[in-house]
Amino acid sequence: MTARPILHPIPPFWRPDSEILILGSFPSVKSREQGFFYGHPRNRFWLVLAEVFDQPVPAAIEEKKAFLERNKVALWDVVASCTISGSADSSIGNVIPNDIQPLLAASRIDRIFVNGGTAKKYYDRYLLPSVGLEAAALPSTSPANAAWSAARLAEAWSRIRVRSAEKPAADRPQD
């Protein structure tokens, strides 16, 4: 399959009360077809988040959005457009990053996590210099990361549970 330029078709999902931002690299073919994040049935993202937050696994897109709202999680990707062959992160080239500054300014996001090494690489290269907020790398939930079981992923991802509300008041952003 030949890499071809693609513009990111999914808008960021966030709310003004979002506290956590999870960034992937670029949506898979299945996610692009569905019009929402982590749409491939073998991607363990929704399974892992459900385990982390001790809630049922959301299935439909509206359930996924409600899940994210309840848990104050925002989703987007580092890459706004690129060349890519299918869904392979290893084939990403000609990267143009998303501008996450407006999202950060309009929300309560104070922690950024990236889903996998490719997202971390592009975050550090393109976004960290302007954002100034380190992103914590989490192991990829992609089916390509078969070395990690869902249980092991959930254990690693459990660090996102610590909320701003659990921090001392002086450390939280003011409304």
Residue 20 lies in a domain: yes
Beta bridge partners of 74: 21
What's the pLDDT score for residue 1? 59
Domain span at 32: 4-160
pLDDT in tens, 7-51: 888 999 999 999 999 999 888 888 989 999 999 999 999 999 999
**Residue-averaged pLDDT of the chain:** 88
49: left (phi over 0), alpha (psi -120 to 50) or beta: alpha
What's the pLDDT score for residue 163? 54
pTM: 0.88
Residue 26 lies in a domain: yes
Here the CATH number for the domain that contains residue 42 is: 3.40.470.10
Widest pairwise Cα distance in the chain: 52
Residue 110 structure tokens: 């104070």
Number of structural domains found in the chain: 1
Nearby residues of 33 by Cβ (< 8 Å), 6 or more positions away = 39
pLDDT in tens, 69-111: 999 999 999 989 887 776 666 666 788 899 999 999 999 999 9
